[in-house]
Structure 1
Amino acid sequence: MLKLKYLFNNEELAEMVLRNWAYDRESLHLFQYYRISSNAIYPFENGGNNLLLRFAPQTEKLRSNLLAELEFISYLRERGYGVLETVPSREGSELVEAQTPWGSYYASVFKRVAGVSMDTTSLDDQTVFRYGQALGELHRLSSEYSPVQGKRWTHNEVLEWIRRVLEPFPEQTAARAETELLADYFGTIPVTLANYGLIHYDFELDNVFYDQTQDTINVIDFDDSMYHWYAVDIEQALDSLLEAVATEEQGPRKERFLEGYTSRYDLPEEGPSQEACRRFADLYRYARILRSTAEQWEHEPEWLTGLRSRLQLKMKAAASRFGLDISV
């Protein structure tokens, strides 16, 4: 997520960035439905089409990662995969580097995808099958993918980023130990073309949209994509799915998800354990929250103090297994 100082609503900034694209000025009232987390997202319209402006400070993102994300999205669309579509700027760019009074920003615009997010569906057998099928197809296409431009970062580069985040915090001994424990563990896991590639990383229910009328899936938010074992995507998706269904339904829904997945791609072999996948996600979340919340100010608004409290609870939960042996 972004540093907390970037979470404040700033419609003047949003409009200034948006002027790089064509838009219906009368649609700017839609800015009230903004959301900010890993990016600022502001909805608007152009010619009656629903669009989303996404932007973030350049200090918060790697340009190479953003370009690689956009290239991967384009690759998926060319192969008929249901994925969000970019809208070029007035100058024909998918990625705009905007200079503003509030600093330098990276920005892109996307069309809204069809359907509703999976977390608002009934999660019946057919829907869950399609959910697993969409992830299997994504991994199949990823296994055949060779980027033309730069690559997204790898799990090792993420671990190195975590080390840098932890440097200013000498008290974070447990997090540092967990980083080295995971680095050593992943160093023992075979990397093959079949089990390792560019993953979505956040293939959770709210990022996957189901269009019931067409029985199709559309996937959004590749902002966290990285090179990792496909098992990480599977674990995160199943975790999201099983959390959303009743206990007695978890077994059948997991089986149905995996049936969908294997209808498109074989389950990867010789990958990391489910626990290792979860431990990586917990550590990465912990480091991002630590970095985001490091700065604090006097007289913070109530929504910000409440957010800090919720994030502290997430950090505590993420750190609960730091330093423990990783099961195989």
Structure 2
Amino acid sequence: MLKLKYLFDNRDLAEMILKNWDYDLDSIKLFDFYRISANAVYPFRYNEKVRFLRFSPTTEKDRNNLVAELEFIDYLKTKDYAALCIVASKHNRKLEEVTTPWGDYFAVVFEKVSGRSLEEIEYTEEICRKYGTYLGKLHKLSSEYQPQNYSHWSYEDVLTWIEKELIKFPDEILAKQEVDTIRKALEELPKNNQNFGLIHYDFELDNVFYDQDTDTLSVIDFDDAMYHWYAMDIQKALDSIESEIDSEGYTIMKENFIEGYRQEFNVSDEMLSYMPIFKRFSNLYAYLRMLSSSEEIWLNEPKWLNELRGKFSMAMKQRSVSFGEPI
């Protein structure tokens, strides 16, 4: 999550950064469909094909993580995994660092994947099983992956970042306790190359696309990837499913997802039993990202910013319900 001061539409900035890539001049009108959250993302076209420009301030991202993300995507493509495609710039670089009047930015361009996101289609048991299969295959490939130059951060780095951020918020006593609770719980979990490795961390319905014509899925948004237990991805995926369907339907979908996953990669019932710990990790991390993002406050803020703060407040309240409780 970017800081709130970056969550505004700046098309001059986007166009300035985009000039490092080839694009159809008349496709700038697609900027109307921009979105900004963890990054700014602006669609455009080149040779009539839709692509996405993704950029963020260099102060908000770790360069090593970004390069590691792109290297992992390249690895997945060599294994015929259906990850999104990276587009090199005019300078034959996959990651550009651009100096602008608004500061320095990291930027990358991806091709649009085919199909529609899983949250936009009729979610069937068959699709759910396929969804699990693609995550299982991703984890199988991850378990065989050896980074060549750069390595992602880990859940331990995330907890350390959270601790550093909390120094700025002395009243967040329960959040500080939650860090200790989660760290101690994770330290006791079994860890080997069959249950722990590089995970997507955001393998949710809106980041997985279904192409009905080919009956295949494609995966986007590896920006949050980290080293963690593979069951962390399972927990977040199931949480995403649960948020979209009723409780009765969720039980069936969960069974199908796990069945599909196990067709490609094993996960023990023991690891699945630890998912409440992973959910606590996810809640804490999300809570801190929102807390850090909304730290600065300005006079006479626009209506959209006030409304966003209200949404953050509600979400943070939900995420922190279990703070201070034993696992």
**TM-score in terms of structure 2 length:** 0.98
Which amino acid in structure 2 is aligned with residue 74 of structure 1?
A: D
Comparing 67-76 with 235-244, which one deviates more in the overlay?
A: 235-244
Q: How does 1:17-166 map to 2 (within 5 A)?
A: 17-166=17-166
1:11-31 per-position Cα deviation (integer Å, ceiling 9, x unaligned): 000000001101111110111
Q: How much is the aligned-residue C-alpha RMSD, in angstroms?
A: 1.0
SS at match of 1:263: helix
User: In the alignment, does 2:216 pair up with 1:196?
Assistant: no
| SS state at 1:277 partner | helix
Q: List per-residue Cα deviations over 1:93-147 (Å, max 9, x = no partner).
A: 0000000000000000000001110001111121111101010001110111111
**Shift in Å, 1:322:** 0.7
Moved over 3 A (4+): 268-272
Gaps of 5+ in 2: none
Question: Which residue is equivalent to 2:252?
Answer: 252
Unaligned runs of 5+ in 1: none
One-letter amino acid matched to 1:300: E
User: C-alpha distance in 1, partners of 2:249/2:326?
Assistant: 30
Conserved 8 A contact 1:2-1:292 = yes
* Equivalenced residues, count: 326
User: Distance in 1 between the 2:159 and 2:70 partners?
Assistant: 23
Question: Could you report, residue by residue, the CA deviation over 1:191-231 in whole angstroms, capped at 9, with x for unpaired residues?
Answer: 10000000000111000001111011100001111000011
Residues 81 and 53 (structure 1 numbering): CA distance in 2 closer, same or farther, change over 3 Å?
same
Which letter does structure 2 place at the counterpart of 1:118?
Answer: L
Residue type of the partner of 1:213?
A: D
Aligned to 2:3: 3
> What amino acid does structure 2 have at the position aligned with 1:157?
D
Is the counterpart of residue 303 in structure 1 residue 308 in structure 2?
no
CA distance in 1, matches of 2:305, 2:23: 31
Match of residue 266 from structure 2: 266
Which letter does structure 2 place at the counterpart of 1:308?
R
Distance 1:243 1:173 in 2: 29
Aligned residue number for residue 321 of structure 1: 322
How far residue 248 of structure 1 moved from its aligned partner, in angstroms, is: 2.2
The one-letter amino acid of 1:211's match is D
Query: 1:55-111: CA deviations, max 9, x gaps?
Result: 000000000000000000111111011110000000000000000000000000000
Q: Distance in 2 between matches of 1:215 and 1:37?
A: 30
SS at match of 2:44: strand
In structure 1, C-alpha distance between the alignment counterparts of 2:268 and 2:27, rounded to whole Å: 46
User: CA-to-partner distance for each residue in 1:249-303, whole Å, 9 max, x for gaps?
Assistant: 1221111111110111111465471110100000000110111000011111111
TM-score, structure 1 length as denominator? 0.98
8 Å contact from structure 1 (residues 231, 268) kept in 2: no
CA distance in 2, matches of 1:315, 1:252: 29
Contact 1:189 1:270 in 2 (8 A): no
Residue 246 of structure 1: how far off its partner (Å): 2.5
Letter in 1 for 2:152: R
Alignment-mate amino acid for residue 282 of structure 1: N
| Identical residues among aligned pairs (%) | 47
CA distance in 1 between counterparts of 2:22 and 2:243 reads: 41
State the alpha-carbon separation in 2 of the partners of residues 3 and 247 from structure 1. Answer: 35
Please give the alpha-carbon distance, in whole angstroms, between the structure 2 residues aligned to 1:124 and 1:189: 33
AA of the residue aligned to 1:207: N
